[in-house]
């Protein structure tokens, strides 16, 4: 893959040889889609919680997502990766979506955005 365009947002790194404006559009729409996915036990979306470590938009428009969970014992561990895959796949122009669940680096509350902290009263 040739990295000719790069879009960076909080918790997200996107690389693609697609035109920069298309990469930016896809990146923004992918973030918006990720913000529709909530851990069933936490009233904040997974993006603001800092569970998304990386999003890589490939030249063929396939998307690789690297994510984690708040704990390896998360009751939603079986469903959240599928929810992420479905959300990203719903973005127009996105091809195949691959979600990779990782445990390193371990998630910690300092990965959360101010928005998530506010929702969870963690000030």
Tens digit of each residue's pLDDT, the chain (123 residues): 333 223 344 445 555 578 889 989 999 999 999 999 998 888 999 999 999 999 999 999 999 999 999 999 988 899 999 999 999 999 999 999 999 999 999 999 999 999 999 988 876
How many angstroms separate the Cα of 25 from the Cα of each of 11, 22, 66, 73, 93?
A: 17, 5, 20, 35, 10
Single out the residue of 28, 80, 83, 15 nearest to residue 54, CA to CA. 15
Kindly report the backbone phi and psi dihedral angles of residue 66, in degrees, each rounded to the nearest multiple of 5, phi listed first.
-110, 125
Q: Which CATH number fits domain 5-119: 3.30.300.130, 3.30.200.20, 3.30.930.10, 3.40.50.620?
A: 3.30.300.130
- How confident is the model at residue 40, as a pLDDT? 86
Q: Which two tokens stand for residue 92?
A: 């127009």
């Amino acid at each position: 893959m040739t990295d000719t365009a790069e879009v960076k947002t909080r918790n997200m790194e996107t690389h693609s040889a697609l035109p920069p404006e298309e990469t930016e559009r896809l990146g923004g729409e992918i973030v918006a889609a990720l913000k529709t996915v909530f851990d069933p036990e936490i009233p904040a979306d997974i993006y603001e919680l800092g569970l998304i470590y990386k999003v890589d938009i490939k030249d063929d428009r396939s998307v690789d997502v690297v994510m984690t969970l708040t704990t390896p014992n998360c009751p939603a561990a079986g469903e959240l990766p599928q929810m992420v895959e479905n959300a990203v796949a719903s973005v127009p122009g996105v091809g195949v979506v691959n979600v990779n669940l990782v445990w390193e680096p371990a998630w910690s509350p300092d990965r959360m955005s101010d928005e998530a902290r506010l929702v969870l009263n963690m000030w």
